[in-house]
Amino acid sequence: MEKARAAILFLLLLVDFAVAAQNATAGEADGFHVGVILDLGSPVGKVARTSVLLAVQDFYAVHRNYSTKLVLHITDSMGSDVQAASAVS
């Protein structure tokens, strides 16, 4: 009888930990990874980088309830079309 009580207590603790772990991760936003290739050596590339970052920031300031967040991966093309094409993975 004592083993049955210990087993039930163990199962209840296990379920409690599983629910706590699920609740801890429920508030985290999912990330949607987006690659952005810009010529960061040119003024246009620098302005485009700043504009994209501000646009994403402004969007999430207005839409705080969105659970999916954009994760930008900005890569410098170094002014070369070949470099930009090879940067894509």
How does pLDDT run across 23-64, given as a tens digit for each residue?
555 555 688 888 888 888 889 989 999 999 999 999 999 988
| pTM for this predicted structure | 0.60
Angle of CA points 38, 43, 45, to nearest 5°: 10
Q: Where are the domains of the chain?
A: 2-87
CB 48 within 8 A of CB 38: yes
